[in-house]
Each structure stands twice: as C-alpha cells, then as structure tokens.
Structure 1
Amino acid sequence: MSDDQTRQGDAGNGDQPSGYQSEGDRWTQGPEVTPGKKSRSEAIAGWPGDDAETLRERQRLAQIEMMDHWIGGVLTEQRRTRRWKLFFRLMLIAIVLASLFTTFYSLFWDSPSVAAPAQRHLGIVDVNGVIASDSPANAERIIQGLSRAWEAENAAAVVLHINSPGGSPVQSQRIYAEIMRLRDQGDKPIIAVIEDIGASGAYYIAAAADEIVASPVSLVGSIGVIYAGFGFEEAIERIGVERRVLTAGDNKAFLDPFQPLDDGAEQFWQGVLSQTHSQFIDDVRAGRGDRLSDSPDIFSGLIWSGEQSIELGLVDQLGSLEQLSRDQVGNTDWVDYTPSLDPFERFTRRFTQMAAEALGVSAPSSPMRF
C-alpha cells in the first residue's frame, strides 16, 4: 500500500491530527480559542463565530441559570421566614404554658391554708419593699396574708416581717386598719418584727401590732410626711419651650413643676401635709398607747436605731425572728402566709405600666409619701 493510501485510511478511521478542522463542520470553524472560564455576560454574548441559533441557545441557558439563582434566593428567604415564625410561635406557647403553670401552682399547691402544718408555728406575713398599690407590698396582698395567718388554727401568732422604707399613705392606712380590727378580736397576738428598716409607712403598720421587735441596729421611726418636687420654670424659658396647660379650676395645676409655686399655694399644700401628719401621729399613739415617751422628737421625722427606739417606746424588745419563734412556739418553726407572686402577672403588669407611661396615660401616684 502506498503512503497516500495509508494517509487516506488513517483519515477514514477518524485519527485526525491536532488542530485539524473539517471543511464542512460549523462547530470547528473559526479561530482556535484557548480554553478558559468566561463571565456570564461573555457567555451570553457568545463565542466568536457563533451563528444566531447558537447564540440564542447560549442566552436561553444563561437565563435558566439566572432563574435558578433567583429561585434559590427566594427559597432561602422563605426558609428563614419560616424559622422566625416557628421561633415566635414557640415563644408564645412557652409564655402561655408558663402562665398556666404558675396559675395552677398558686391555686392548688401554693396555698398555705391547704397544707398548713399540724404543729404550732408562727404565721409570717412579709412586708418587703416600698408600700404601694403596684408593688409586692400592696395592701390587698398583705391583708390577704393577714387573713390566712389569722385563720390558721395552729398559728400561735401572726408576725408582720417588715423590711420597708414606707410608701403610700393610703396603702399603709388600709393595712393599719385591718391589723387593728384583728387585734381587737383578741384571738392571737400580732407581732411586728423589723429587720433592716421599718420607717415611715412601714412603722405606721407596725404601730398597729400588739408588740414590736427589732434588731439593735434596725432603723425605726421617720414619723412624718414628705412631698418632693422640682421647679423648671426658668429652665423652660431658657431653652425656648412654651408650656401649654389648660385647666378648669384656678388651682388645678398648682403643683405643675413648670409653673412657680406662689405663697398661697404653698401654704395650702403645707396644710394638707400637716393634716396628714396629724393623722399619722394619732394612729401611732392609738397603737402604741402609753408606751411612747414624751420626747417631742418622736414625731419630727427623725429615724432611730433599734436600741434608741427602746428608750423612746417605739419598740418593745430587741431580738430576731428566730428568738421570737423560740419564745412563742418553743422552736424555729414558721409558715409564710403571704400570697405568692405570679411571675406572668408581674411581667404583664410591669409591661402595661411601662407602655402607659410611654403613651402618657398612666395614672399618677400620690405626691405625698410616708
């Protein structure tokens, strides 16, 4: 076989040399291009020498790729949204379950009247913190605790466990009146035990008890009434703000901190404070009786140590809750009859209070404090 025939046979078997281009094949025509990755815009524009059909095919594939990327992004965002919705739903379910648990716990497992011990004990009622309608030391809660301890058959005494700087005159008077009512029945003693501090409205409450016990270093007294405020009338003029207050009644805004307090308004308000102070003094005298000394400083608003209070008749004896329990029941055995606090209720009450303050619709508390 000749060399020409051999070359023709190799070509017929498909063994073509590198760089060979067939004259009739449109895919192999045009300049040789070095293989490499092209950008999306270059891919859409096509390769040099592409005909219209090839270019359309490349554009269609590029559009499909872009659509795949867009769909993938949408699906990712939907998955993220579903995860957040699931998270908030689980949080809502957890809050509802927690509120139900605390409610059932307070109803069925946390009632001292249901599981009161058979042996003699002290019935404790806590007065802890500022005395106010929106605080744990509010009149409704403390009076309910007093009723529970008073009705417990094996409670040898009702003990007001006080650690409070005072607070609302109205709340303090409500608790005082209930203690005096129970005290007049005479079934069991009511004893106030002052821990760190029993001042102002807290001492108002303690004065209704049959007996007051305090530590030698407890702070006792502060029998007085206070009003505190600020005057911003000059500051508001300096910063160029106009105060607009509309009232029906000449003295409706006499305690507005952005208006000056004239002599007549000051005398009137001082009279209100003095009258409230007189009620405070009368109730302390009614509760303590002849045990009070004749010192004029007792009702001046001063605060005393427990040891000084013994000499003034503000306190009956120095001691502690453990010592009182040993004296009354022979051992350190007591039961807390203070109604438990519902955490969910506290959270919702605090949230509502903050929202009302932010909107400017919260009810103002009394400007006077014991």
Structure 2
Amino acid sequence: MDNGLEVLERVLQASIREQRAARRWKSFFQLCTLGLVVAAYTAGGPPLSEMWGEKSAGITAKVAVSGTIAEGERAGAAIVNRGLVAAFKDPRTKAVILDINSPGGSPVQAGRVYDEIKRQRHLHPDVKVYAVIGDLGASGAYYIASAADEIYADKASLVGSIGVTAASFGYVDLMKKLGVERRAYTSGEHKAFLDQFQPENPSETEFWEGVLQQTHKQFIAAVEAGRGDRLKSKEHPDLFSGLVWSGEQALGLGLIDKLGDADYVARDVVGAEKIVDFTPRGNALDRFANRVGASMAGEAFMKLGLGGFELR
C-alpha cells in the first residue's frame, strides 16, 4: 500500500514538473515573439496592427519629414526613404502623405528623397503622393514636397525659400589684434579653400559662388519639373529668390495646390480616413551610428573652412 502511494506521489510530482516546464517555455516563446514585434516596430517595420493581422479596406500612409534634412537626422534620406518604400509596399496603401515640418538642409539628402519619391511613383502609378506642410516647408523641404502630386499647407504655414546658402566667419582682423599667426601647409594651390583664418581669395570666392549658383539651378529645375505650369514664376520673378511666403500667399503663387491638413487629405481627397504612420523610428544604436557618420562629414567640411552649404 505504501509503495502504491509512493508511486502515485512520484507520478503527480512529475506531472507538476512537466506543467511548470511547459509554462516556462510558453512564457519564453511569448517574450521572444514580443521582442521581435518591438524590434520590427522600432526599426521601421510594418505597423503593429498589420503584424497582428488587422485588415483594412484601405489606408493613407504617412511618412514624416521633420526637422533638419541631414544625414543621421530623422529627416535624412536613409530614414525617410525607408519609410517611403514600406508605405508604397503595403498593399492597403491608397495614397502616401509626406508630413512636412522642416526648414530644409542638405541638398544631397533632399535630392535623394526627391528621387526616391519619383521612383516609387513610377513603380506604383496608382498610388498618389500628397505633401502636407505644417508650420514650415522651406528650401530643401520644399524641394522634397515638389516631387508630390499635390501640395497642401495651412494658410499660416511658411512655404518656399527656394535658394542656397553657405555661411562662414572671417577671423583675420581678430587674429592680427591678438598677435596670432595662421600657418597652413598644403600640397595643392586651393587646398586651404576659403580658409576662414586667411584673407579672402577673390578667385576662390568667385568659384564658390559658381558652385552655389549651379546648385540653385538644380533646385529650380527640380521644382519646375515637379510643379510644372502650376508655378507662377513668370509673373513673379522673386519666386526663386529665396523668399518665403505664407501658405495663403503660396497658393496664389502656385507653390501649393490647396489649403488643408493631413486629416483633410486622407478623408476628403484620398477617401481613406485611417492614417498609418510608416516613419521609421530606428533604435538607439542606429541613431548613434548615423550621428557619428554625420559628425565625420561635418568635420570634413569644417576642415575646408565651411559649415557645408544648405538649401535654405
């Protein structure tokens, strides 16, 4: 009798251990699944609702262009373009909204986003792109917006600033007062190009102005290609002068098509009221790596005596 009870006790204990082990493995796999979901979400993958199987007749995809357009920043080409690819790839997407609030930035980064918008529009001709400007859509940000099918803004938004700028400082007189001598050793005639610690060289200044003018022409060509006959550039010669206008003024100049916000566009223009944000969020390691790369590029410009040049 005692032996029978011992056997029964051992069987029950074994059963309890198996149940505990099963629960531990279940919890382990649940945590792994949750980790994968969070990783995909923070890396700019599909929305969580999609990963959990939510179905929708159609959505309006949104990709933000927020802040300075520069490598390593949220509005840099690497991040924005990743969001664009994901937005166009989603089979539910009826249209894409570029949610813009930016003063501009790098012409290279803006140009890459512009080109990606054009490429995606060619690959997905049935999916339209609408740029919606918030507080500010200037310079490089407007460069990007001009690739869209239509541009919307608030009546008080600031729009335009189609120009290029490069700024530096000159310390020659200050150095003389302090008795400081600049010693630069180069292996090329113009290697110390626009050195801010040496007097300006007229020929180098002229050359640099030519570079800026060429970049400005590229900017204008992109805007004209995107906006076409909607621009009132012939009637308003200051359109490409770098001036900025309110949204209400921009409407009259052909810089934008209508007044409205993202909700209006999704609801009344696209007909898909549900807006899904495809802007990649990235993780801390990605942001650190991007900022290191951008910092190294900025340091190279500083060695040239420049802060770089920007569409502003």
CA distance in 1, matches of 2:47, 2:78: 17
Distance 1:259 1:137, change over 3 A: same
1:174 aligns with 2:108: no
Distance 1:325 1:309, change over 3 A: same
2:140 to 179, 197, 201: 201
CA distance in 2, matches of 1:344, 1:244: 39
Structure 1 equivalent of residue 172 of structure 2: 233
Q: Is the 8 A contact 1:220 1:304 kept in 2?
A: yes
Displacement of 1:247 in angstroms is 1.2
CA distance in 2, matches of 1:327, 1:104: 33
Displacement of 1:187 in angstroms is 2.3
Displacement of 1:230 in angstroms is 0.7
1:313 aligns with 2:242: no
Displacement of 1:107 in angstroms is 2.5
Question: What is the DSSP-based 3-state SS (H/G/I as helix, E as strand, rest coil) of the residue aligned with 1:335?
Answer: strand
1:68-124 CA-to-partner distances (Å, cap 9, x unmatched) read: xxxxxxxxxxxxxxxxxxxxxxxxxxxxxxxxx988723267621674352211100
CA distance in 2, matches of 1:103, 1:264: 58
The aligned amino acid for 1:176 is: Y
Question: What is the DSSP-based 3-state SS (H/G/I as helix, E as strand, rest coil) of the residue aligned with 1:171?
Answer: helix
Displacement of 1:244 in angstroms is 1.8
Mind listing any 5+ residue stretches in structure 2 that lack a counterpart?
1-33
1:296-323 CA-to-partner distances (Å, cap 9, x unmatched) read: 1110000000000111100000001111
Superposition map of 1:108-147 within 5 A = 111-112=45-46, 115-116=49-50, 117-119=54-56, 120-147=58-85
1:143-188 CA-to-partner distances (Å, cap 9, x unmatched) read: 1100111011111101110000000010001011111122234121
Structure 2 equivalent of residue 335 of structure 1: 276
Q: Is the 8 A contact 2:69 2:76 kept in 1?
A: yes
CA distance in 2, matches of 1:270, 1:102: 52
Give the count of matched residue pairs: 266
CA distance in 2, matches of 1:262, 1:111: 51
Displacement of 1:135 in angstroms is 1.1
CA distance in 2, matches of 1:172, 1:328: 26
1:285 aligns with 2:285: no
Structure 2 equivalent of residue 262 of structure 1: 201
Distance 1:349 1:172, change over 3 A: closer
The aligned amino acid for 1:364 is: F
CA distance in 2, matches of 1:364, 1:314: 32
The aligned amino acid for 1:274 is: Q
Superposition map of 1:150-169 within 5 A = 150-169=88-107
Q: Is the 8 A contact 1:183 1:210 kept in 2?
A: no
Question: What is the DSSP-based 3-state SS (H/G/I as helix, E as strand, rest coil) of the residue aligned with 1:195?
Answer: strand
Superposition map of 1:1-370 within 5 A = 105-107=38-40, 111-112=45-46, 115-116=49-50, 117-119=54-56, 120-185=58-123, 186-293=125-232, 294=234, 295-328=236-269, 330=271, 332-347=273-288, 352=292, 362-364=299-301, 367-370=308-311
Q: Is the 8 A contact 2:152 2:260 kept in 1?
A: yes
Q: Percent of aligned positions with the same letter in both sequences?
A: 47
Displacement of 1:197 in angstroms is 0.3
Q: Is the 8 A contact 2:63 2:278 kept in 1?
A: yes
Q: Which of 1 and 2 has greater Rg?
A: 1
CA distance in 1, matches of 2:219, 2:281: 30
Distance 1:108 1:323, change over 3 A: closer
Q: Is the 8 A contact 2:73 2:290 kept in 1?
A: no
Q: Which region of structure 1 is more displaced relative to structure 2, 263-272 or 212-221? A: 263-272
Question: What is the DSSP-based 3-state SS (H/G/I as helix, E as strand, rest coil) of the residue aligned with 1:136?
Answer: coil
Displacement of 1:325 in angstroms is 1.4
Distance 1:225 1:361, change over 3 A: closer
Mind listing any 5+ residue stretches in structure 1 that lack a counterpart?
1-100
Question: What is the DSSP-based 3-state SS (H/G/I as helix, E as strand, rest coil) of the residue aligned with 1:255?
Answer: coil
Q: Is the 8 A contact 1:136 1:341 kept in 2?
A: no
Structure 1 equivalent of residue 9 of structure 2: none
